[in-house]
Amino acid sequence: MNIVLCGMMGAGKTTVGIRLADMTGMRWYDTDDLISDRHGRIADIFEFYGEERFRQYETEIVHEVAKQEGCVISTGGGCVLRPENSAAFKEHGGRIVFLKVDIEVLFARTGHTGEDRPLLKNTTFEKMKELLDYRTPIYESCADYTVDTNGKTVEEVAAEIVRVFGLPLRKA
């Protein structure tokens, strides 16, 4: 079984993914890192080739990592917006976890990161809220479980995922 973390940019998918992998001994992948390793900086992909090309790369990566077993996979914020991506994860036994977080927290974490996050370039609180409002029902519809991360530490979020899915902890 794989655990697939989805949610908005800044929801904590990477941080929680790393912690969850450390707690369980599962391998950790970040789809954005894999795309960057293979194709270059995400901001450059968006600038020179557009979002559609990026999404194609993302889908290729999803189909590769979804076939792995015993992994924690942190996805990019838009990854599961393509139904074929969430379907690929589930087809191979992946459990999708939506990391839900309030807009105020997201904006505080990511509102200034437009250089590294192309979809947030020149963003405002209102634009980010629109994006969150659009994406949340999609995240919820593909998720097997939702963790409300507001007011929780990374440790608490990871422990909740371990408990809900009955993941074995790494032996000390």
Please report, for the chain, the start and end positions of each structural domain, with discontinuous segments joined by +: 3-165
For residue 125, the model assigns a pLDDT of 83
Residue 107: pLDDT band with limits 50, 70, 90: confident
Mean predicted confidence (pLDDT) in 47-74: 96
Mean per-residue pLDDT, 2-27 = 96
CATH of 3-165, one of 3.30.70.1350, 3.40.50.300, 2.130.10.10, 3.30.450.40: 3.40.50.300
What is the model's pLDDT at position 126?
87
pLDDT at 167: 95
* CB-based burial label for 24 (10 Å; 0-12, 13-18, 19+): buried
Q: How far is CA 86 from each of CA 80, 149, 153, rounded to the nearest angstrom? A: 5, 21, 26
